[in-house]
Structure 1
Amino acid sequence: MRRRTLGITAVSAAALGAAAACGSDDGGSDNETTEEFSGELVIWADETRTPVLKEFVKDFESTVGVKVTVEEHVETLREDFLTAAEQGQGPDIVVGAHDWSGQFAADGVIAPITLSADQQAALSEAAVKAFTVDGNLYGVAYALENLGLIRNTDLAPEAPATFEELIAAGQAAATDEVLTMEVGVDGNAYSAYPLFSSFGGYLFKDDGTGTLDPTDVGVDSPGGIAAFEKFAELGAAGVLKTTIDATNTIPFFVDGKTAFMISGPWALTDVQGAGLNYEVTAIPGFEGQGPASPFLGVQGFYVSQTAANAVFAQEFVTNYVLTEDLQLKLAEAGGRLPALTAAAEAFSEGNADVQGFAAAGENAVPMPNIPAMNAVWEPFGRAQADAVDGVSTGEAAATTAAQAIRDAVAG
């Protein structure tokens, strides 16, 4: 039987596996050919996901008969991919956050992905929306994550219903800090967003369909200004501090220096290692205001526009990534809620931590994936830090940040 390289035809994983494994015509015509892939599929991922994926791709290799190489990129994965893709190089697949999709799509470095109606229905609606840009799907989601409130139940037995109750309980615990939440000298828009959103603040106006208008900036909207004024108030009261940053938010909580911490699933390894009694619940909104809505982060797989092996890349992301078994294994390794609804339900059962973060994410909004979001982080963070430190009033901080964002978006 003659062998040749697979042509540009999308086929199922089962069919590919059968083709690769076929070694005889077994009653077929001598003119039949077996389609066999020659080459390898290259995936780039960060230092957290690379070890996990190296184990998981073995199933794909054995089923489809394709060698898969997973390469680790520390800290600069996004930049490395952009640089390589713009030169027509790089991997077939890159694993990353959904908020990269806007820039990637605008730069033309990723390919659209087609999922069937059933495949889309099997995923969290938010997960599909997160990877959608201008009506096109550019990534296949495997995990969801958001911030929540982690509480030391020995120091604060009851979950607070409002942020005011949190402050009161934190003060009553008589610890060094009322709360640890990343702020830092440069501020932190990601951590601040749940509190910002409780007052009705928004970054870019949503038209109701999930499409964001980069020209409609809401940082200095009435709700945005009210939120920054609250940042200033909380800073003056010592509840928020620019001395609390990524280096000490978790350690202070683990060391019992605070009863409350706003953080994500990544914090639980240290919390559990310390043997603390704790509970994960929703971040409470402010009294008389809306719920605290954290950003929803979605992790997924992109296919490079210049993928050398595009057929197998599409096969991997559309069929292999969307299996309950793989999503559960990734969830177990990373502690994030699977994007597949069936896998999420199975993973959540009997898991109080996952249920807690899921409850905290009920009002979560996908982090904006439009390129204009790149203009938000620095001015928003700087304004938050200035408000917390009392360098400027809340209104002045919000106004300054909003104008800086508008100027950057306008180019």
Structure 2
Amino acid sequence: MSDLSVLVGNGLSVAYNPELNLASITQEMLERVEREGDAGSDVLRAMKEIARRALPEGATTDDDFEIIVGAFGSETRTLGYLGELATLTSPADEDLKAALDRVTTFAEQVRDAGISRVLEIIFERSKMRHSDASGLFRLLRAIVGKFDGRVTFANLNYDTLLLAALIHLYRDSLADMAQGNRSGSVTTDGVRYNVPPLRRRGDLPDERRLRLLHLHGSLTYWTNRERTGFVKLDRSFLQTHSQWVAVREGQTNVRPVVVLANQRDKQAHVEDFPFSLAYEMFAASIAETNRWLIVGYSFRDACVNDVMREQFRSRSDKPTVLVSTFGDSPSRREVEVALGWGAEDGDSSQRILFHRGGAFDLASSDEWSTFSA
């Protein structure tokens, strides 16, 4: 039996739909904020000002995505710290507490409005059409057909493309971070619905050899304000109940569970559930497998690189890594640095392989034949 760990970055989603490029999503977000920011709402005006300050020159690169989404979330976290500080230093000052509560509530409304719009754009652009998915299906069939043991997919994308493709091809062999029962619940527009909860432990069923982890959350992962209940809402639910609008209008008791943050704040986010559990299971997978396939990933996420570097450097017998990308980036040196391959390790070409023809052509490449032999 041969096992495989797969890390999937935004490049796979972009290969399916170029409009899932982060710069394109950011530009659309800015245009919507610009249009709606003149509507008179205090929240919309605040969003417009935050966007203007975060990206005064407009969206031009993928880096702008982290800047803009990080800007919508960082103020709320800062105000939370101020509230804790005020409670410690001036516990009897009710006026101060009320003022901070009011400002924090407004900041949360701005955050919800910003993040829901970003995810709504991704939701609109990531609808799976089987007629357009031949390349994605071909890639997954090659992976699952060649590696007949445990295959763990760690997905960095918020969209549902990989989930939908795996369900379409391998529904009975797949497990993700949601439980199969419907003991969770969500209330939207005054109606309570039973939905699957997220797992609290890494107890995915052994009989399902394909595993899907969302390291930074998903369009389908939601939680209540207290972060005491975590559930999965499928695309049909999100569409039927206009869940993005419900968030903005305060008509639902849950919010998306995603790591939409800049690099500075991301580490704090991934230490929280359910991201912490996904990272734990990803680390366990790459520690136990001798083949790592990395698809469409830029090697620029410090949190992800830290996990891979720790496992890579701790092994005297290094795993074989195949990096599937499109074009010259990332370079061999960038990957070596990210994984912790030092000058003392010599030539990396036998352990770190590259396919630069794009994910959907990977299965027919010489690099794949070498890697999967």
Question: Taking structure 2 as the reference length, what is the TM-score of the superposition?
Answer: 0.24
Q: Which has the larger radius of gyration?
A: 1
Structure with greater proportional helix content: 2
Question: Taking structure 1 as the reference length, what is the TM-score of the superposition?
Answer: 0.23
